[in-house]
Chain A
Amino acid sequence: MSRRAGSDDIVYTVVSALAEAAAVAPDELPYTLAEYVDPAMLESLVSRDHNCELTFQVPDHEVTVTAAGEVFVDGVRFRDGERPIQDGERSTLNGERSILDDDRRIPDGDELPVLPNRAPNFGLQQFISELPATVYQSRNEPGWPIDFISDNCRELTGYDPNAFVLGGVTFGFDLIVPEDRELVSTVVEEAVRNEEPFTVVYRIRTADDELKWVMELGIGLVGEEDPIPFVGVLVDVTELTHDLDLQNHVLV
């Protein structure tokens, strides 16, 4: 019988299951679990004597974790410490998610709500990654912390997306040059107050200490949860700065 994860090691077990599904070592998984689910929710799920499960999406896979500590990737139970499941032995989720073969049935019970996946679906993600601009979602907090940023942020900023989403790097505190911060803050505040989109041009210092000019077009999603999210795009306009009126950085 496979070892069932407790609350202390459920995060490790889920990561191990996903790594096995991707045929990589756990430390080679190309994303972080926290991008797709709050790991504390998993710990809470398996620490209680509830009859429920949680399902969420990660790149290319669907994961279900039960209160009993079982982990299913794409309907196949992960058996930590055991040999890989051979053909004909697969323990799967068939049809209704709560129905399994005989003794491997997932108990019927209440389902926890699936946590919102902030990453876009993959068709849209591919489209975004091919745009000649960086797409982002941030929130109206100091520094404008990033919740999503497209892969081409590397070319613009020198940072990987994870440096923003997980590593705490922000445009406000780490990239925008100090002399331009107040201007950007003023423009954004006014746009939020008037419930309008904003456009602003400013300078950033990249991870490689390169100075670039950036045009940002964004909008605050007023009416959403507090702190309100911003969505927008960033365009490298460094080569165009000779033709811009840089005495007035605000473009309306």
Chain B
Amino acid sequence: MPGAFESATTCDPWDRCLYQLSAQPRRQIVVSLLDVPDERRLPLPEAAITEPCSVDLEQFEVELRHHHLPKLANAGYVRWEEASFRVQRGPRYEEAETVMRLLLESSDRLPDAPIRGWDR
């Protein structure tokens, strides 16, 4: 049985990671946290928005609070604060970071941009 501070092997990490990255707001949050320090807290909903003009902000914030942020936090990829509505890296953030960086590096071989700043 793995110790609490060792890598958990009880849930397939690929299943977990790819499932978490299967929604655009969650991908965008992971990407927004790529080049910021661990302790940096980014404001929401901005960190999750891909195309500002197309978002119904009220609805989007509800979906973040009730769906996307709890999912990412449950996987350990982020921590978020309800009151100040900010998000930062979680203890398992590197797992999602690795996959997103690989996607970014392969951008010329993939279809339409899945996140804002795809051409970074």
* Complex contacts, A182 vs chain B, CB 8 Å: 5
User: How far apart are the CA atoms of A15 and B68 in the complex, in Å?
Assistant: 14
CB distance from A19 to the nearest CB of B (A): 9
Question: Which of these, B10, B59, B66, B79, contacts A168 with CB under 8 Å?
Answer: B79
B37-76 interface code vs A (CB 8 A; 1 in, 0 out) = 0000000000000000000001101110111011111101
A16-47 interface code vs B (CB 8 A; 1 in, 0 out) = 10000000001100001111000110000000
Determine if B66 and A141 form an interchain contact, defined as CB atoms under 8 angstroms apart.
Answer: no
* SS class, residues of chain A in contact with chain B: helix
User: How far apart are the CA atoms of A32 and B85 in the complex, in Å?
Assistant: 14
Given A167-B80, A172-B5, also A26-B10 (CB < 8 A): no
User: Does residue A201 face the partner (Cβ distance < 8 Å to B)?
Assistant: no
A178-197 interface code vs B (CB 8 A; 1 in, 0 out) = 00011011101100110000
User: How far apart are the CA atoms of A156 and B74 in the complex, in Å?
Assistant: 22
B1-18 interface code vs A (CB 8 A; 1 in, 0 out) = 101111110110000000
Interface residues on A, range: 35 or more
Determine if B62 and A144 form an interchain contact, defined as CB atoms under 8 angstroms apart.
Answer: no
* Complex contacts, B78 vs chain A, CB 8 Å: 168
* Complex contacts, A189 vs chain B, CB 8 Å: 1, 3-4
CB distance from B39 to the nearest CB of A (A): 12
* Complex contacts, A170 vs chain B, CB 8 Å: 91
* Complex contacts, B92 vs chain A, CB 8 Å: 142
Give the residues from 192 to 209 in chain A that come closer than 8 angstroms, CB to CB, to chain B.
Answer: 192-193
CB distance from A89 to the nearest CB of B (A): 27
User: How far apart are the CA atoms of A167 and B89 in the complex, in Å?
Assistant: 11
Question: Which of these, B8, B58, B59, B80, contacts A227 with CB under 8 Å?
Answer: B8
Nearest first, the 3 closest Cβ-Cβ pairs linking A and B are A168-B73, A34-B70, A39-B67
